[in-house]
Amino acid sequence: MTELSAGTVPEGFEQLPQGLGFTDNLQPCYRRVRGTEVSFGLYVDDQHINLMGVCHGGVLTTMADVAAASGLNVVRGEVAGSPTLNLSVDFIAPGRLGDWLQADVEQATVKRRFGFCNGTINGPKGLVARFNGTFYLPEHKGVWKDKEKAARFTSENDPFGAQT
C-alpha cells in the first residue's frame, strides 16, 4: 500500500451512502471498483476502536464481509442479496487510530448457487487481516422488508459497485 497523508482517501474511492443498515457502522467508509477489482477502505476513527485502542475485530470482519459479497456481485454482474454462509477472518496485526485500512478482494469465484471469495485487509504497516468467505447466491434478488431501501439496490444505483 502506498503512504497516505492523514485524511487523504486514495484515488478512485467513493464514500458509501448512508442508509445501508449495519454497514453504516463503518462510516465514513469508501469503496472502489476497477473492472472486477473491489476494495473497501476507511480511516480508523474513535467509533472503530476497542478498549485497547486498536480497530475492533468486528469492524475488520464487517469490512471483510461487505468486500467479499460485493466482489462476488461484481463478478456475477448482478445486484442481489448474497447471504454469508461462512466467513473466516485471521487477525494478524492491529489497525491503529488514524490508519487507512483497505480490504481488497483477491479472488472471487461463482459456482452455481454459491460464491467463494478471499482477500486481505492492509494498513500502513502491511497485512492486518486475511479473510475467506462462502456465500449463498439465490436465484432471486433477495427478500426486502423495506421496498424504498430495496430501490437503492438497482443496477443503476448499486452502493456496492456491481457492474451489470
Domain membership of residue 74 (yes or no) is yes
Please count the structural domains in the chain.
1
Report residue 107's pLDDT band, with 50, 70 and 90 as the boundaries.
very high
Residue 48 DSSP class: G
Domain membership of residue 3 (yes or no) is no
Is residue 72 scored above 90 in pLDDT? yes
pLDDT on residue 147: 57
Domain membership of residue 161 (yes or no) is no
Domain membership of residue 7 (yes or no) is no
**Cell numbers placing 132:** 475467506
Tally of CB atoms within 10 A around 97 = 14
Domain membership of residue 33 (yes or no) is yes
Is residue 155 scored above 50 in pLDDT? no
Report residue 92's pLDDT band, with 50, 70 and 90 as the boundaries.
very high
Structural domain boundaries enclosing 30: 14-153
